Amino acid sequence: MSGLRRVALISMHTSPIAQPGTGDAGGMNVYVAETAQRLAARGIEVEIFTRATTSAQEPVFHPSPGVLVRHVPAGPFEGLSKADLPGQLCAFAAGVMREGARSPEGWFDVIHSHYWLSGQVGWLVSDRWRVPLVHTMHTMAKVKNAYLSADDIAEPPGRLIGEEQVVGAADVLVANTEQERQELISLYAADPARVRVVSPGVDLDLFSPGDRATARRNVAVAQEDLLLLFVGRIQPLKAPDVLVRAAARLIGRGDGLSGRIRVAILGGESGTGAGQTERLRQLADDLGIGHRVIFGEPVARDVLAQWFRAADLVIVPSYNESFGLVAIEAAACGTPVVAAAVGGLPDAVGPGGVLVEGHDPHTWADAIGALLADPDARDALGRKAIEHARGFSWERTVDHLVEVYEQAREDQETDS
* DSSP β-bridge partners for residue 237: none
Give CA–CA dist 327/345, Å, rounded. Answer: 7
Residue 46 near residue 68, CB atoms below 8 Å: yes
287 in helix, strand or coil? coil
* DSSP β-bridge partners for residue 188: none
Does 24 belong to an annotated binding site? yes
DSSP H or E run through 325 = helix 325-332
| DSSP codes of every residue in 177-226 | SHHHHHHHHHHH---GGGEEE----B-TTTS----HHHHHHHHT--TT-E
Give the count of beta carbons closer than 10 Å to the beta carbon of residue 190: 21
Does 29 belong to an annotated binding site? yes
Does 311 belong to an annotated binding site? yes
Does 57 belong to an annotated binding site? no
Does 295 belong to an annotated binding site? no
Backbone phi and psi for residue 256, each to the nearest 5 degrees, phi listed first: -65, -20
Does 20 belong to an annotated binding site? yes
Does 384 belong to an annotated binding site? no
Does 413 belong to an annotated binding site? no
Question: Which of 31, 21, 48 has its CA nearest to residue 323?
Answer: 31
Does 137 belong to an annotated binding site? no
Backbone phi and psi for residue 239, each to the nearest 5 degrees, phi listed first: 55, 45
Question: Which of 144, 146, 121 has its CA nearest to residue 133?
Answer: 121
Q: In what order do the strands lie in the sheet with 195-197?
A: 60-64, 67-72, 45-51, 6-10, 110-114, 133-136, 172-175, 195-197
Does 159 belong to an annotated binding site? yes
Longest dimension (CA), the chain: 71
Give CA–CA dist 100/72, Å, rounded. Answer: 12
Burial-class residue 138 by CB neighbours within 10 Å (0-12, 13-18, 19+). Answer: buried
The one-letter code for the residue type at 399 is D
Does 308 belong to an annotated binding site? yes
Residue 83 near residue 103, CB atoms below 8 Å: no
Does 115 belong to an annotated binding site? yes
Does 139 belong to an annotated binding site? yes
Backbone phi and psi for residue 342, each to the nearest 5 degrees, phi listed first: -135, 155
Does 58 belong to an annotated binding site? no
Does 145 belong to an annotated binding site? no
Does 82 belong to an annotated binding site? yes
Does 279 belong to an annotated binding site? no
Does 238 belong to an annotated binding site? yes
Q: Are strands 67-72 and 60-64 parallel, antiparallel or unpaired?
A: antiparallel
* DSSP β-bridge partners for residue 174: 136, 196
Give CA–CA dist 252/262, Å, rounded. Answer: 13
Does 168 belong to an annotated binding site? no
9 in helix, strand or coil? strand
Indicate the annotated binding residues. Answer: 13, 19-20, 24-29, 82, 115, 139, 159, 233, 238, 299, 308-309, 311, 321, 329, 335
Indicate the annotated binding residues for 1D-myo-inositol 3-phosphate. Answer: 13, 24-29, 82, 115, 139, 159
Indicate the annotated binding residues for Mg(2+). Answer: 308-309, 311, 335
Indicate the annotated binding residues for UDP-N-acetyl-alpha-D-glucosamine. Answer: 19-20, 27, 233, 238, 299, 321, 329
